[in-house]
Amino acid sequence: MSQMRTLKTDGLTQAILEAGEGPLVLLIHGFPELAISWRAQVQALSAAGYRVVAPDMRGYGGTDKPERMADYGMLNLVGDMVDLVRALGEERAVVIGHDWGAPVAWHCALMRPDLFRAVAGLSVPFQPRRASGPPTPAMAAISKRAGLGDLYISRFQAPDAHAQMQTDPATTLRKMFWAYDGSTDAADRSTGFLPPGLSLMDSIADRAAPPPWMGAAHFQEYVDAFTTGGFRGPVDWYRNLDANWAATAFLQDARIRQPSLFIVGENDPVRHYAGAAEASLQDWLTDLRGQPVLPGAGHWIQQERADEVNALLLAFLGQPGVGRD
């Protein structure tokens, strides 16, 4: 049986969902999610003999929400996971991330291979540091050349980008989950690109409804958490993209050499703007054990396709050198 509790790490109180005994597996959520997005995985992996821990990440849910934008950089996020492993009394872990949690997981493996012995990413592939310059000007240039409008990530750089989301958290969450789900008609799914003057929320139809896999009680957990905690901290993760690039010159051309896995939904809208990185994953993940694409699935795959994702993760964890010494 899983339970939520809080524990103190270096300068941060983290809320975690945990269950089981055995080798440690960390599950890192993305935007706009919470630890509860991993409930099905916590149950399945703990039943298979693993100690499974899913934190509310910095700025989310029951975890602390620092006031400074600069406190949401990648070095902070990786540090939180390193501190969490130590606070749990463990020495090694497998790290698995979805959405924004995937870059955090990739960087955990990249920066601390001694601590994170294997890594899996869901929905967002590993993207190496660009030697040519920071990411947001490159995103803007690519969008302009393609005539696609602004990528929503570019819009999220504005200091008030979170304000519209906070005026009605229920509508924000309903639209986000609907627009990135595999069950939503292709014409209604977001591409991530926005016409001039149109916000991400305004680009999604008002008829949006929570996806079929999200019951009313589960949806209300998200609404309650974001009504209380807001969206400023989560959006600050995006506002640190260029600062992350500046802080990680030491990782230029570095490769992930631990056993790795990447899972993506066939109809995940993220593939419109991050999909090109999938083709070169083997160049950067030198022990890539698999790269499955789930037919018809959208972005929220660990919830939308829980059984399939559980099976893939358990198969990965069971391979030599992954889940157990």
Spatial distance between the Cα atoms of 33 and 274, rounded to a whole number of angstroms:
19
Q: Can you point out the beta strands (E) in the chain?
A: 3-9, 12-19, 24-28, 51-55, 93-98, 116-122, 150-151, 193-194, 256-265, 285-288, 293-294
Query: Catalytic residue positions?
Result: 99, 299
Which helix (H) or strand (E) segment holds residue 111: the answer is helix 101-111
- Spatial contact of 221 and 234, defined as CB atoms under 8 Å apart: no
**Residue 183 to residue 212: CA distance in whole angstroms:** 8
* Residues 88/53, Cβ–Cβ less than 8 Å: yes
Give, in order, the Cα–Cα distances in Å from 94 to each of 22, 44, 79, 119, 198.
Answer: 12, 15, 15, 6, 40
Q: Facing residues of 13 across strands?
A: 8
The one-letter amino acid code at 64 reads: D
